[in-house]
Amino acid sequence: MMKHILSVTVSNQPAVLARISGLFSRRNFNILSLNVGETEKPEFSRMTIVVEGDDHTLEQVKKQLYKLIDVIKVTELNQANMVERDMALIKVNCNKNMRTQLIQVVNVFRGKIVDLSPETVTVEVTGDESKINALIELLKDFGIKEVVRTGIVALDRELPSTTKVKN
């Protein structure tokens, strides 16, 4: 099934998050991740919602979102023409002897060590989803204790129209 990334501008009204998440569950739409934060304007928030579904489902998701009074704008991001970031914090089992080895792996992914304990290391990594998945895969060899991810945040790329990347 296709994955779609929607950027949704909403009014910062009470219960707006409940309205959106309620809509997805009620209409049987599948959310893979949802992220919300303030925008350049204090009265609006922007959500990045990753949904799974065929074209028919996507059309319905967009239209149903638009029906909500607090939804200002819904854009589907073109996955070939957007900047996408996901961030993860990964707490890995790692004693002193293993640290160098771990740091080497993390460096390849331009990750950062953000916390250390005698038995664990916490890694921060930012990038697109596949990069983070790849790092998590490698860190499994050390033994992962905990992972937390932000889910995707994304924005359209600004390109001169002539050089716009095609789908």
Partner 1 sequence: MALLSGAKILIESLLKEGVEIIFGYPGGKVIPLYDELYDAPITHVLVRHEQAAAHAADGYSRSTGKVGVCIATSGPGATNLVTGIANAYMDSVPVVAFTGQAPTHLIGTDSFQEIDIRGITLPITKHNYMVTNIKDLARVVKEAFYIARTGRPGPVLIDLPVDVIKTNFDYHYPEKVHLPGYQPTYEGNYMQIKAAAEVINNSFRPVIFAGGGVIISNASDELKTLSKTGKIPVANSLMGLGSFPLTDEYSLGMVGMHGTKYANYAISESDLIIAIGVRFDDRVTGRVDKFASKAKIIHIDIDPAEINKNIKVDIPIVGDAKTILNKLIPLIKTVERTEWLETIKEWKRDYPLSYEHRNSNIKPQYIIEKLNEVLSENSIVVTDVGQHQMWAAQYLKFLKPRSFISSGGLGTMGFGLPASIGAQFGNPDRPVICISGDGGFQMNLQELATISNNNLPIKMIIFNNSTLGMVRQWQELFFNERYSHTLIKNPDFIKIAEAYGIKALKVTDKNDVDKAIKEALNYNGPMLLDFVIPQDENVFPMVPEGASLEEMLDYRKVLKETEI
Residues in the site for partner 1, rule: CB under 8 A?
10-11, 14-15, 18-19, 22-23, 26, 56, 59-60, 63-64, 66-72
Least spacing, CB of residue 60 vs partner 1, in Å: 6
Residue closer to partner 1, measured from CB, 59 or 141: 59
Least spacing, CB of residue 65 vs partner 1, in Å: 9
Strand runs labelled E in the chain: 3-11, 30-38, 44-52, 71-76, 82-93, 112-116, 120-127, 144-149, 153-156
Residue closer to partner 1, measured from CB, 44 or 93: 44
Least spacing, CB of residue 164 vs partner 1, in Å: 26
Contact yes or no for 89/124 (Cβ under 8 A): yes
Residue 106's closest CA among 129, 150, 98, 85? 98
